[in-house]
Chains A and B, each alone.
Chain A
């Protein structure tokens, strides 16, 4: 800090040093404490403690769909018909708007139907439209026989892939597994953390 010239020809003094040191401490301290004021808005520990949910999918009739809550957000569990599956498999991935599978269970992969539904009969995915978060309508709605989001008109196909409208991505697949015949568990990575004391969904 020798060449902090306050006015030219003036030798740095002890007072200059104290000024700069004080300013530096104040700036760093102020900057660091700001983080506390920002971070308090982020999810609190009880909210972060992820929950896992078990769903009995065997009760869903073919062509039927249920919605469950997981981490405060609804998720679709759809029992697809053979026609649904066939339609989803007939699509060329190259034509899709979003070519990523968006499947937490397998990581980066092309958005084929095989990569979306672990068991082709059951499609499990987040029910929040990737545009602005509305819950799309099921029952084969929309131009592609899958889901239609009424908010701004996004159409999803029978594999939950975005086909038309403003939504940018395919509906996300959460981490889940079949733990018993006909029973899935959503939120596997949460299993160990869920002892954190909060298990609401």
Chain B
């Protein structure tokens, strides 16, 4: 849809600028007169929300960095000073910490939207892959950021995650030493983590630009999954979607504000208010909520390398998803069987998150007592195993096979027809 530009500079200055650096034209064609399917629902507002949260993380982060000291002897105290003494420091930190959670909430909704409406399919494979790259960079950034306050969870979370690399045969130990800059997590580690935590969000910003570029070549997908066919299918981005996105953003900010002002520590872990102590591991290490499903996958396997491989595999599989789904129909609206498997997949992700928050030996339900009178039953690790199997089966077995055997429902002839009142409301068998 990168059609003809409709921008016409009006003043002498904008004409002068346009023939030298057509920046205003680029913005106009991308965010004002960009033709957008007219049936986008609220699931489509999370892209805008994500962009705003990225900017917010960068602004609050740069401010925190003005008061933060990346040294093992001072880091914890400097964060406490931000909380108590720096003017509005508590606000900056709570916005940054809860902003990260909101960022992940939004990205998960955004990704499930893509899974449901088949936005990863041709011609949007690159768009999807760039999205997965952003997701990976976000995870790296959040992990690095979580180390900075140098609390117990910071320290032990970082220990566990960096040790994942030691599972790699032969070179694993050297890689962890290289990451640490020492023989355990110490000051060199904290300093490099700070440097990278500052850097990566700007890398994310760069990939977001590519992501939007890759969006604006094929244009938005939409809830019907039917491609745009005529001008009747679209409306200009502004004012229709600028307003819709703004409204959704305001609602989302109410949720954000609720956390920042009323529940600022509810998503964090109390152990992170204890300064890092390399001698004592907290009895129950849990990552931040947004990593829990992956943590459950890691622990589902009784083998170190196997667990690490599966955990990375669970994200790697997203990269090849566009080629795993064999169905020509994009939207799950018209895939009566696949949509149930996708709902199950979403449930599996919640289940994995739940298992990730528990100890592997905790019981999901009790079936009886053993000889010593201790409860026995179905353990979390088995729960996580079943869900992990389903997670992979969804991508590697169900989607490839289902596309071949499923009989999709008839799709509307066009987006215009689907919203009613269109000229050609008759359904059509295949796209």
Contacts and interface: CB of A to CB of B under 8 A. Distances in A.
Nearest to A130: B304
Contact of A73 (B183, B301, B381): B183
Interface string A112-140: 00000000000000001001111111000
Given A69-B278, A153-B360, A42 B177 contact: yes
B281 A134 contact: yes
Contact of B184 (A72, A136, A166, A167): A72
Interface in B263-283: 278-283
Given A44-B181, A71-B183, A166 B279 contact: no
Contacts of A149: 281
A41 B160 contact: no
B73 interface: no
A85 B283 CA distance: 27
A44 B188 contact: yes
Contacts of B192: 41
A141 to B, nearest CB: 11
B337 to A, nearest CB: 37
Contacts of B186: 47, 72
A150 interface: yes
Contacts of B183: 43, 47, 71-73
A7 B4 CA distance: 41
A151 interface: yes
Given A43-B181, A47-B182, A152-B299, A132 B278 contact: no
Contacts of A151: 156, 160, 281, 285
Contact of A152 (B178, B280, B282, B360): B360
A47 B283 contact: no
B360 A42 contact: no
A135 B281 contact: yes
Contacts of A43: 177, 180-183, 188
Nearest to A127: B279
Category for how many chain A residues contact B: 20 to 34
A53 to B, nearest CB: 14
A98 B389 CA distance: 28
Given A44-B181, A134-B156, A72 B278 contact: yes
Given A41-B181, A133-B159, A166 B303 contact: yes
A135 B280 CA distance: 6
A149 B192 CA distance: 28
Contact of B279 (A41, A74, A131): A74
Contacts of B304: 131-132, 166-168
Given A41-B181, A44-B181, A168-B304, A67 B163 contact: no
Interface in B325-379: 359-361
A50 B166 CA distance: 21
Category for how many chain B residues contact A: 35 or more
A132 B159 contact: yes
Nearest to B161: A132
B184 A134 contact: no
A134 B163 CA distance: 10
Given A42-B181, A43-B181, A132-B163, A150 B278 contact: no
The main secondary structure of chain A at its interface with chain B is: loop
A165 interface: yes
Given A41-B181, A43-B182, A166-B303, A69 B279 contact: yes
A129 to B, nearest CB: 8
Interface in A164-183: 165-168
Contacts of A71: 183-184
Contacts of B283: 137, 150
A82 B166 CA distance: 35
Given A41-B192, A44-B181, A166-B307, A67 B279 contact: yes
A153 B360 CA distance: 7
A41 B178 contact: yes
Interface string B147-182: 000000000100111111010000000000111111
A132 B283 CA distance: 15
Interface centre among A131, A151, A167 (most CB of B within 10 A): A151
A134 B281 CA distance: 6
Nearest to B379: A153
Interface string A35-73: 000100111100100000000000000000001010111
Contacts of A133: 159-160, 162-163, 184
B10 interface: no
A165 B360 CA distance: 10
Contacts of B156: 134, 151
Contacts of A166: 299, 301-304, 307
Nearest to A68: B279
B372 to A, nearest CB: 12
Contacts of A167: 304
Given A166-B302, A168-B304, A150 B284 contact: yes
Interface string B186-206: 101000100000000000000
Q: Which 8 A-B residue pairs are closest in the complex by CB-CB distance?
A: A132-B163, A133-B163, A72-B184, A134-B281, A132-B160, A135-B281, A133-B159, A73-B184
Given A47-B183, A135-B281, 5 more contacts: A73-B278, A74-B278, A74-B279, A132-B163, A150-B281
Interface of A: 38, 41-44, 47, 67, 69, 71-74, 128, 131-137, 149-153, 165-168
22 contacts: A41-B192, A43-B177, A43-B183, A44-B188, A47-B181, A47-B182, A67-B279, A69-B278, A69-B279, A74-B278, A133-B184, A135-B279, A135-B280, A135-B281, A150-B282, A150-B285, A150-B359, A153-B361, A165-B302, A167-B304, A168-B303, A168-B304
